[in-house]
Amino acid sequence: METVFVKPSKLERKWFVIDAENKALGRVAARAASIVRGKEKPVFAPHQETGDFVVIINAGKAALTGRKSVQKLYYRHSGYVGGLKSMNYEKLLARHPVSPMELAVKGMLPKGPLGRKLLKNVKVYTGPEHPHKAQNPQAIDL
């Protein structure tokens, strides 16, 4: 099988908007990661940036099932001995409302330089307003 190389000039990239209000956090993140990666396009190549742009609105109103809002923990490390800090979903949402959605999408993208590049194509906002109206994003229903 031949390796597919798509020229960036030949690639048509669109903008999509996903409303995360009352939608499962993981389902929204999985759909956003799939679109950003370009898996829904016929020219998909796992080593190239062939995906589209995604705007996620109402990220702070995404739903979690069960008791995950209390039990799910997010970790960070300062780099010093004993510097491991943990925070549950409720506290993280109160402090940084877009952070849980960004971390969920980041975890579903490939690790390394390509994943970091793809993460820049995901724009997450707390409320229903976003500054990308000029791109005419298409709404996606989950």
What is the rounded CA–CA span in Å between residue 124 and residue 114?
19
Residue-wise burial string across 41-66, b where 16 or more C-beta atoms lie within 10 A, e elsewhere: beeeeeebbbbbbbbbbbbbbbebee
Per residue in 32-56, pLDDT (tens digit) is: 999 999 999 998 999 999 999 999 9
Task: Report yes or no on 35 lying in a domain.
Answer: yes
Q: What is the mean pLDDT of residues 51-80?
A: 96
CATH number, residue 26 = 3.90.1180.10
Task: Report yes or no on 42 lying in a domain.
Answer: yes
> Would you place residue 9 in the very low, low, confident or very high pLDDT band (cuts 50, 70, 90)?
confident
Contact between 103 and 25 (Cβ < 8 Å): no
pLDDT, residue 61, reads 95
| DSSP-derived pairing of the beta strands 138-140 and 15-19 | parallel
pTM: 0.93
Task: Report yes or no on 125 lying in a domain.
Answer: yes
| DSSP-derived pairing of the beta strands 73-77 and 53-57 | unpaired
> Would you place residue 8 in the very low, low, confident or very high pLDDT band (cuts 50, 70, 90)?
confident
Task: Report yes or no on 90 lying in a domain.
Answer: no
Q: What is the mean pLDDT of residues 103-122?
A: 97
Q: Which two tokens stand for residue 138?
A: 């298409």
Contact between 5 and 49 (Cβ < 8 Å): no
Number of domains in the chain: 1
Q: What residues make up the domain containing 118? A: 14-64+97-140
Question: HSE-up of 92 (CA within 13 Å, CB side)?
Answer: 21
> Would you place residue 28 in the very low, low, confident or very high pLDDT band (cuts 50, 70, 90)?
very high
State which H helix or E strand residue 57 sits in: strand 53-57
